[in-house]
Structure 1
Amino acid sequence: MSLVKVKGTYDVLSSEARRWQALETYVKAVFKKFNYQEIRTPIMEYSNVFHREDENSDMVTKETYNFEDKGGRMLTLRPEGTAGIIRSYIENKLYATNDLVKLWYMGPNFRYERPQKGRFRQFSQFGVEVVGAMDPYLDAEVIQLAYEIIKGLSLKGVSVKINSLGDKASKQNYMKVLKAFLEPKKDQLSPDSQARLDKNPLRILDSKDPVDKELLKDAPLPLDHLSDEAKLNFEKIQEALALAGVEYKIDKRLVRGLDYYSFVVFEIQADIEGFGSQNALGGGGRYNELVESLGGPSKPGVGFAFGMERLLDALELEGIKMVDEPKLDAYFITFDETSKKEAMKLQSLLRKENISVDLNYSGKAFKGQLKEALAQNAKFLLILGENELNMGKINVKNTKTEFQELIDIKDLVINLKEMLHHV
């Protein structure tokens, strides 16, 4: 039996890992600039963290990986980051010492869905959660942060789409209006939308089914059914976004896939050729009831998440390289046991000076070693033959200029540091 990776997962090989590391480093730097602090939570939680009475999204009802542990406890691999972070916020009583916590996270999530380009059953996300304040200027900051991350990557056609679902009361009233509009058309809706009509009618607005789209053309929209409080909140968010220099468009049909959202929701989209119709790179919104529904105090929150794989795909399609090809500072070429021993000793000295260096361990002849050194983009060759050793010398060759000089072995570290300074 041949061993293969699990369906919907992938291997990040060393050549790809550099791209991941570069993106991670960039994102962390932006979070630092906005004064957000890191939080790390387990990839598995007790199932009731996600499977709550107030959450009927497809992600939770259809796509979670659930299992029973040896103690008979039901566990779930996290399908998204927010609920686990709120569980941690409550359990560790972060609200007792901080009126407002601004957190960022990064890591894998798991959903049992149909694998397709840019979408996997194990996938990585980064995002933020801000808990403790209901402030339109804070909502604007979170949107600005999401926008700056994407805009700073030099992607083209980046746009911000915003909408408001209103407060709890106006959201519930709207869903009654929407349901009344759709009930007479129920038999014409797609099977998924028929199932959503009773439990989650708001999600029907996000349907990609052509028949659903046609039926929804004249449907009532959340923005037209806001309470006065929700209207004022949305106006202030728009004013704050303008102050922050963030251009945006109102998308009245925009909803997010999780039931806990209320008030503002948003997406960051990019118009990228070959990216398909699903052009959203990430998004989020406000969730004022989630903390309380998980057993915590009444604390409002807002956040967003981006898929790492989608973002890396977008960068590749746009031809944006965040990292150069790796270059090795030096590569030892040896010819026998004696020269290899000397290379091992010198290699340790060089690495202590933060010089990247390697040698061949496969017993290859000179040509094979040279080929390997060039394949690793070595800047210098360090050649240790019998003649060099007898003289206490080493040949140092610049692979770009092909200039070669014989220097004392004892002076290798200081001389090579100087040479590297000029390449």
Structure 2
Amino acid sequence: MTSGTATGPEAGAAATITCLSQAEAAARLEAIAGRTGGDQMAAAAASVEAILEQVRREGDQALLELSERFDGVRPEPLRIPAERLAEAWDACDPQLREALELAHRRILEFHRRQLPADLDVQGPHGERLGRRWRPVERAGLYVPGGRAAYPSTVLMNAVPATVAGVQRLVMVTPPGPGGDPNPTVLAAAHLAGIEEIYRVGGAQAVAALAYGTESIPRVDVISGPGNLYVTLAKKAVYGRVAIDSLAGPSEVLVIADHTARVDQVAADLLAQAEHDPLAAAILLTTSAELAAALPEALEQQLAGHPRAGITRTAIRDWGLVVVCDDLDTAAALSDRFAPEHLELLVEDPESLAGRIQHAGAIFMGPYTPEAVGDYLAGPNHTLPTSGTARFAGALSVETFLRHTSLIRFNRQALEATGAAVITLAESEGLHSHAESVRRRLEG
């Protein structure tokens, strides 16, 4: 078991991955979780603030200019005609259409089960207490472009919003080199029932959704992952609109024992590393033999890999292997990291899953690669990253709902509780709060 540093991201560089002891692992995991901080974050935040202000002031004109600057395309008109979405669906390869339909059906069936029920409770004195759920009126769906096309992200955002009952879905996605987004993304949007799509991405798209422009309406919720600039823009506009989460670069943590196949472990680590140079791929294993065999398995699968440069950079910079004394130690280290995706390639995955406290999604057993969750298992693939699984969960139907409390007291209920309300109000020095109850009791 060795560690080293690759000479660069080029396709011929060695597929080295850092190997550490248990004692060293916790600090390295903390560094990986915080990999998007520092000077890069400060500089990006300043740039995002300028972009937001420009869009707020100049509207559509700013979107055109910023798209031309960052994407090399001036997307006029901003909105994609609805007939182009149907054309993209019709032009789809039949096998791809079938796969999209299967994914859409499974995601829809799972998310329909998430709808919360209204609450209606009768209190001990005849009062009625409740909670009522209603959808937001407009949802903004951000679908990234750039290094890859993500029709799966279209489905994972549109389905919960549709199930929630949102009436107006507004999708934004970066223009491609020819001006239009990826045709499979448009086909997925057509399948999901999205009719309003704008060819704009980056922080400027988030600004348009938050502030509104001449063409793009202001929304109530913005969902969907993006790069650092998109994430910082969502953070900056939160409070003006709701957001789903602040998603960072993707990550997978695999816990494996002696039953795991090294080729499957390597494939699953590379499946995250190919997303982004900042993607993290971590293996915690009780098998020293597996750890020792991993570098060669990675190298074999990287030979001729179409995204070898990105993947090697991620493995070199954010890859990690730790040999653990036992699975309890591996589970404790995993909980400390709180991974977005957690794979359990162990003899008894269900038992180990019961010991895990913090993870965005848990994939159990050798036939459950993380890729099935990305595309069609059913649960949402938009998950908490960078340790936020300690307090956050996946995108869901509730992301697009808000709840209202319902309270109705009768005289009996007020008489039974009013004295306590008056006492509490007076303890806070709020005279009129107490008086509002007292006058009803005296009337």
Bin for the TM-score computed over the shorter chain: under 0.3
TM-score relative to the length of structure 1: 0.26
TM-score relative to the length of structure 2: 0.25
Task: Identify the structure with the greater helix proportion.
Answer: 2
Higher relative contact order (CA 8 A, sep 6+): 2
